[in-house]
Homo-oligomer: A and B are copies of this chain.
Amino acid sequence: MKRSYLLYGVVAGVLLVVLQAVQYKTMIRDMRLELYAGVIAILFMIIGVVVGLQFVKRKSTNAVDSTKANQLNLSERELEVLHLLADGYSNQEIADKLFVSLNTIKTHISKLYQKLNVSRRTQAVQKARDLAILIPPKG
């Protein structure tokens, strides 16, 4: 989560810098301010849409009851992984989403299984629901 925000910030900054550079180099005479503003607006609107989609995706799926999670000593990262696991993502997809390697995800999931006392991902999801760690979106 924290990484996501950081990423978006970095992307935003880089884009601004790039726009500046481009502007000073070649377009300062040809490009009017309106057009410049328009380009920025469109770019960041696209970014905003992406951010918004990411945001809602997490909220619209499974919620996490962090209180009960703490009783099992599940770490934050493990909860994140569990969340994505329950959403049906593969290990590789989870790795991509969290910007870590596949091996790391495997480790997280392995520990998750130990703490939940299961040996398969479907069981993990099942158990997490039973323990109200994962709360379905609706009813």
User: Which A positions have Cβ atoms within 8 angstroms of B?
Assistant: 12, 15-16, 19-20, 23, 33-34, 36-38, 40-53, 55-57, 60, 64, 85-90, 118, 120-127, 129-130, 136-139
Contact = CB atoms under 8 A, between A and B. Distances in A.
B55 A49 contact: yes
A138 B126 CA distance: 12
A82 to B, nearest CB: 11
A44 B34 contact: no
Contact of A138 (B47, B64, B123): B64
A40 B88 CA distance: 37
B12 A45 contact: yes
24 contacts: A12-B41, A16-B41, A40-B40, A40-B41, A41-B41, A41-B43, A44-B48, A45-B47, A45-B48, A46-B48, A48-B48, A48-B51, A48-B52, A49-B49, A51-B52, A52-B55, A53-B56, A87-B126, A88-B122, A88-B124, A88-B125, A122-B125, A136-B136, A139-B139
